[in-house]
Amino acid sequence: MQPTTYEAENLQDFARVVLQRAIDTGVEERNAQFEKIKRALIQDKCTPLDRARTIAAMVVADHEAKGSDTRIDIDRSTSTCVFVTVDGERHALTVPQIEAIVRGHC
């Protein structure tokens, strides 16, 4: 059963509060923030693991992106090519490029 829009927004709001509390207590590392949110969603909101991972990743990514104007163009991107706008210029990233970034930095 899929959550309603209200339920999804409620979980994201809850996750944002957990993130802010983590930051306020000195948790600055992204993976630690992700784990705290995921664990809280599972324990406090009975969220399934896969959904908790997705929400935690989204909330941490949204928080990290606040100071940047770089954005992914979801309307033009496909499953094999992601368009990213950086400083007003659009760039295309292919799957092999994304894979190299992920393997090299994460």
Burial class of residue 22 in the structure, from the number of CB atoms within 10 Å of its CB (0-12 exposed, 13-18 middle, 19+ buried): buried
Q: How confident is the model at residue 14 (pLDDT cuts 50, 70, 90)?
A: very high
Torsion of CA 12, 42, 102, 29, to 10 degrees: 80
pLDDT of residue 6: 65
Residue 2 has pLDDT above 80, yes or no: no
pTM over 0.85: no
Q: Give the model confidence (pLDDT) of 16-63 as tens digits.
A: 999 999 999 999 999 999 999 999 999 999 999 999 999 999 999 999
**CA-based nearest residue to 3, from 63, 59, 44, 45:** 45
Question: How far is 41 from 17, CA to CA, in rounded Å?
Answer: 11
The residue ranges of every structural domain in the chain are: 5-65, 71-105
Question: How far is 106 from 80, CA to CA, in rounded Å?
Answer: 20
- Residue recorded with tokens 């930051």: 23
Tell me phi and psi for residue 89, to 5 degrees. -110, 135
